[in-house]
Amino acid sequence: MTLDRPDAGNRINTDLAAELRHVCQLIREDDCIHLMVLTGRGASFSVGREELPADLAAGPLEGKLGWLRQLQVASYLAALDVPVIVALNGDAMDHGLELALAGDLRIAVASARFGLTDLATGHGSFPWDGGTQRLPRLVGPAWAQDMVLTSRILDAAQALALGLVNQVVAAGQLMAETRRWADGILAGGPIAARYAKEAVRKGMDLSLPQGLALEADLNIILQSTSDRDEGIQSFLQRRAPRFTGG
């Protein structure tokens, strides 16, 4: 899935947000899709969202809230059962970074920058599409507070050191390395990858005993799938597995 508004820095507007939500719904309904890659076209991944239209800015609060709700899309991406790799082809700022945070793995080009600058705009706002919740889960509350309150902009090396991204590559290697990641994940079986994602994501909000129970339950369910049988048979027969997602 490619953000395709390069002339606008892939800024998120209501049309793009609606299309993103629609694509996420299609992915949820298609059992043949086992992984998703999100990237951007042009020099930026996404530098944020479009400004509030002047007529809404001068209007009642309900209109402003309705506009914001139309732009919210990160939770739809985060709710996908399949693994989501975000290939950051350039800067991910503000709403663009919030969208990237909703993925599972992030790989970035060396020139990319990252920041949440809502407070610096002087508009009296702060991140509102999951940034204040997902960022501290990745980099810890201290650095999350720093980025949100000071509007600090990180380069790719700093983002890697903090765990905001998983790998930094040269621009010409981005999609080849992303494909290598995707192939590696899918080689382990799509159902196993989906359950592993569920165990990690849901376990973050559980106690350790509850998380361990979830991990055990999902592994028990996995044993009953045809993919698990295929994995065992391929090992015994010394051949590459042919997983079907069943």
Quick: pLDDT tens for 70-101.
889 999 999 999 999 999 999 999 999 999 99
> Residue 230: inside a domain, yes or no?
yes
pLDDT value, residue 222? 81
> Residue 245: inside a domain, yes or no?
no
- pTM of the entire predicted model: 0.88
Quick: pLDDT tens for 115-140.
999 887 656 678 889 999 999 999 99
pLDDT value, residue 219? 85
**Alpha carbons 42 and 19: distance in angstroms, whole number:** 19
Low-confidence ranges of the chain (pLDDT < 70): 53-58, 61, 63, 121-124, 225-246
> Residue 149: inside a domain, yes or no?
yes
Domain residues for the domain of 55 are: 2-183
For residues 84 and 139, state if they share a domain: yes
pLDDT value, residue 245? 58
For residues 216 and 151, state if they share a domain: no
Question: Cα-atom radius of gyration of the chain, to the nearest Å?
Answer: 19
For residues 52 and 147, state if they share a domain: yes
> Residue 206: inside a domain, yes or no?
yes
For residues 229 and 146, state if they share a domain: no
Q: What is the CATH number of the domain that holds 75?
A: 3.90.226.10
pLDDT value, residue 79? 95
Give buried/exposed letters for 7-36 (b at 16+ CB in 10 A, else e).
ebbbbbeeebbeebbebbeebeeeeeebbb
